[in-house]
């Protein structure tokens, strides 16, 4: 998953980004003012936006208003000081999804982020299932027919993304944009290798789940209707 952190406090932004990268393994981009946030949101897809309320150039409230006016429905989690409660309520009315007051616990922040991403994708639970496959996003584990599947971090992230879109063809570019930050061009030549390894590991545990490749189009997680 790919998250945008909009925060003008450089050290806080770096700490939050590190926690999101090292904990759930998200790709994280940073923006330090509202104008920059709107610019990157117009050209890059995000699974969640973590937005400080008091940021320079364009404040958080105006960022939310403009994003929703542009029909960008990415979940937004607002970071705010306790003294800004009324402004936060106004911002929620504009279309933000949740908020946390500073200072906050990074563990709680990660839990909130995961919950909003699941809700944004229409999944209320932390467990994704498809046929005999079960992926637990909280524990970051994958089982096939009850048997644990040993995946690398990148293989896990690819499978998680595909499990949010079963039976749909997902392009290589879409995978890259949601799994990596702005340096994703450097990974474009290795995505096929990760998909190949993931396919091989799935074949070792089940014959009913198939990771298909459509040349020039992308990848699809499929299974016979009888096993769903």
The Cα–Cα gap between 132 and 207 comes to 10
pLDDT tens digits, 60-75: 989 999 999 999 999 9
Whether the CB-CB separation of 184 and 169 falls below 8 Å is answered with no
Give the distance, in angstroms, between the CA of residue 48 and the centroid of all CA atoms in the same chain: 6
pLDDT at 186 over 60: no
Q: Which contacts (CB < 8 Å, 24+ apart) does range 82-87 have?
A: 84/53, 84/54, 87/53, 87/61
String of b and e for 38-55 (b: at least 16 CB within 10 Å)?
bebbeeeebbbbbbbbeb
- Give kind and range of the element (H or E) at residue 42: helix 34-43
For residue 169, the SS3 value is coil
Q: What is the pLDDT of residue 226?
A: 46
Residue 91: exposed, middle, or buried by beta-carbon count in 10 A (0-12, 13-18, 19+)? buried
Q: What is the pLDDT of residue 94?
A: 83
Q: Is 115 helix (H, G, I), strand (E, B) or coil?
A: helix
Q: Is the pLDDT of residue 183 over 70?
A: no
Domains of the chain and CATH, by start: 2-120 (3.40.50.2300), 127-227 (1.10.10.10)
- The mean pLDDT value for 197-225 works out to 89
**Shortest CA distance to 28 belongs to which of 10, 6, 43, 12?**
6
Lowest mean pLDDT among 43-52, 65-74, 185-194: 185-194
Decide if pLDDT at 227 tops 60.
no
pLDDT greater than 60 at residue 174: yes
| Length of the chain in terms of residues written | 228
Q: Is there a contact between 137 and 5 (Cβ–Cβ < 8 Å)?
A: no
pLDDT of 182 reads 64
The whole-angstrom separation of Cα 200 and Cα 198 is: 5
CB 42 within 8 A of CB 57: no
Q: Per-residue pLDDT tens for 142-167?
A: 999 889 999 988 899 899 999 988 89
What are the strands, taking DSSP E only, across 67-226? 76-81, 98-102, 127-130, 133-136, 141-144, 147-148, 210-214, 218-222
Give the pTM: 0.74
pLDDT in tens, 80-135: 886 666 676 777 788 899 888 888 999 999 999 988 988 887 766 788 999 999 99
């Amino acid at each position: 998953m790919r998250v945008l952190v909009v925060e003008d406090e450089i050290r806080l932004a770096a700490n939050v980004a590190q926690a999101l990268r090292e904990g759930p393994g998200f790709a994280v981009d940073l923006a330090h003012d509202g104008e920059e946030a709107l610019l990157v949101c117009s050209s890059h897809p995000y699974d969640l936006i973590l937005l400080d309320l008091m940021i320079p150039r364009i404040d958080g409230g105006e960022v939310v208003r403009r994003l929703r006016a542009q029909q960008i429905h990415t979940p937004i989690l607002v970071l705010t000081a306790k003294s800004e409660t009324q402004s936060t309520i106004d911002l929620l009315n504009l279309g933000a999804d949740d908020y946390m007051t500073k200072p906050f616990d990074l563990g709680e922040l990660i839990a909130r982020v995961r919950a909003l991403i699941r809700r944004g994708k229409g999944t209320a639970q932390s467990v994704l299932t498809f046929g005999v496959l079960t992926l637990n996003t909280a524990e970051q584990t994958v089982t096939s027919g009850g048997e644990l599947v040993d995946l690398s971090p990148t293989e896990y992230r690819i499978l998680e993304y595909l499990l949010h879109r079963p039976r749909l063809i997902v392009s290589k570019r879409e995978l890259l944009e949601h799994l990596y930050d702005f340096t994703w061009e450097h990974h474009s030549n290795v995505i096929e290798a990760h998909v190949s390894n993931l396919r091989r590991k799935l074949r070792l545990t089940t014959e009913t789940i198939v990771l298909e490749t459509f040349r020039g189009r992308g990848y699809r997680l499929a299974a016979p209707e009888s096993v769903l």
